[in-house]
Amino acid sequence: MTALPAQWLERDRRKLRVEEAAIGDRIYEIITALCALVVPALVISIAIAIFAAAWPAFARLGLSIVASSSWDVGAGQFGAAPALFGTLISSAVALIIATPLAIGVAIFLSEFSPRWLRQPVGFLVDLLAAIPSVVYGLWGIFVLIPLLREHVMPFLRDTLHLGATPFFTGPAYGPSMLAAGVILAIMALPYISAVSREVLLAVPRSQREAALALGATRWEMIRDAVIPYARSGIIGGIMLGLGRALGETMAVTMVIGNRPEISASLFAPGYTMASLIANEFSEATNDLHLSALMAVGATLFVITLVVNAVARWLVWSVSRSRAK
């Protein structure tokens, strides 16, 4: 520390301390503001990085990247439509399975659960979100896929005669859109149930009491008085789960079979945008191939951005009405 200027020493100590404090406050404010600025800077840099890397492919190939379904590296054809299709279908399957379960658990925890069970069940469901996706993938390969192949797929196709529909036909190899959907359902479930539970708990008691007082059964109370009140928050939770499912990479890559074909049957292997990038990135041979993969990443970026923004807005609109 350098010596203070002579005229400072003349001043009374009290004033000096006030000025020091003012300088300290200024420095503190600048540092925290800089930290806060890192967040927008990151989002902008991510957007720039991914679109800069994707630009050569978009410039050369245009929209055929998402519209064409022929992905042939050797021939310089990069149509990722099967991957886009796979991302949307696997996430849709995941939501179809996870949503009723997640809302069921949320209703159980917020309305019917015995007190002593509330904490442990909530904790176990939340813990699903803590399991690394590579562990889901490992479990998917060695436990879930054999289970689907030996029991679930034959049951759906033959015992339930769903093989007559185009969705459950073909041989049961194991790695498939269905396997990806089931794994994603397990992974999205904790996000949907956590948000749903929160918004259900935010529904005022008077809402429930009024319904019961009018003679509703406990289920009618939930259906007619509680769920409508929490609806947009629950939809927000589902969209958050969707955001997770769309961008999930490792677990899906390990169970979906990684075949870039569009098939109506859930038993057939498929591909997703994230697993396409993960699989081909390290073997990308030329600049156009790399750039095409980045263009797929940019598409994924935009889709998840929109889904998440809508989700946050829905959840926020419920919590804001709660604050009023």
Partner 1 sequence: MRTIRSRHLVSGGMIGLTYVAAVLATLPLLLILWHLLQKGASSLSLAFFTHMPKPVGEPGGGMANAIVGTLVIIATASAIGLPIGIGAGLYLAEKRSTPLAYSVRFLSDVLNGLPSIVIGIFAWEFLVRPIGHFSALAGGVALGSMMIPLVTRTTEEMLHVVPTSLREAALALGYPRWRTSISVVLRTALAGIATGALVAVARIAGETAPLLFTAFGNQFWSTSLREPIAALPLQIFTYAISPYDEWHQLAWAGALVLIVIVLIISIAARFATRSRFGAPVD
Applying the rule CB under 8 A, the residues between 211 and 240 that interact with partner 1 are 217-220, 222, 240
Q: Is 312 in the site for partner 1 (CB under 8 A)?
A: yes
CB of 139 to partner 1, least distance (A): 5
Which residue in 4, 9, 16, 42 binds partner 1 (CB under 8 A)?
A: 42
Interactions with partner 1, residue window 145-184 (CB under 8 A): none
| Site map (CB under 8 A) of partner 1, residues 264-293, x = contact | ----------x--xx--xx-----------
Stretch that binds partner 1, among 70-78, 88-96, 157-165, 187-195 (CB under 8 A): 187-195
* CB closer to partner 1, 163 vs 175: 175
Site residues for partner 1, window 49-68 (CB under 8 A)? 49-50, 52-53
Least distance CB 236 / partner 1 (angstroms): 11
- Closest CB to partner 1 among 156 and 250? 250
Write the secondary structure of the chain as one string of H (helix), E (strand) and C (coil): CCCCCHHHHHCCHHHHHHHHHHHHHHHHHHHHHHHHHHHHHHHHHHHHHHHHHHHHHHHHHCCHHHHCCCEECCCCEECCHHHHHHHHHHHHHHHHHHHHHHHHHHHHHHHHCCHHHHHHHHHHHHHHHHCCHHHHHHHHHHHHHHHHHHHHHHHHHHHCCHHHCHHHCCCCCCCCHHHHHHHHHHHHHHHHHHHHHHHHHCCCHHHHHHHHHCCCCHHHHHHHHHHHHHHHHHHHHHHHHHHHHHHCCHHHHHHCCCCCCCCCCCCCCCCCHHHHHHHHHHHCCCHHHHHHHHHHHHHHHHHHHHHHHHHHHHHHHHHHHHHC
**Which range, of 57-65, 94-102, 161-169, 224-232, touches partner 1 by CB under 8 A?**
94-102
| Stretch of residues binding partner 1 (CB under 8 A), selected from 1-9, 140-148, 162-170, 227-235 | 140-148
Among 200, 297, 314, 318, binds partner 1 (CB under 8 A): 297
As measured in angstroms, the least distance from the Cβ of 204 to partner 1 is: 19
Q: Which stretch binds partner 1 (CB under 8 A): 60-68, 97-105, 160-168, 225-233?
A: 97-105
Residue 77 — φ and ψ, nearest 5°? -105, 125
CB of 212 or CB of 264, closer to partner 1: 212
Residues pairing with 77 in the sheet:
72
The angle, 0 to 180 degrees and rounded to 10, between the axes of the packed helices 177-201 and 115-127 is 140
Shorter beta-carbon distance to partner 1: residue 37 or 213:
37
Number of residues that bind partner 1 (CB under 8 A): 92
Per CB under 8 A, the list member of 80, 84, 94, 107 interacting with partner 1 is 107
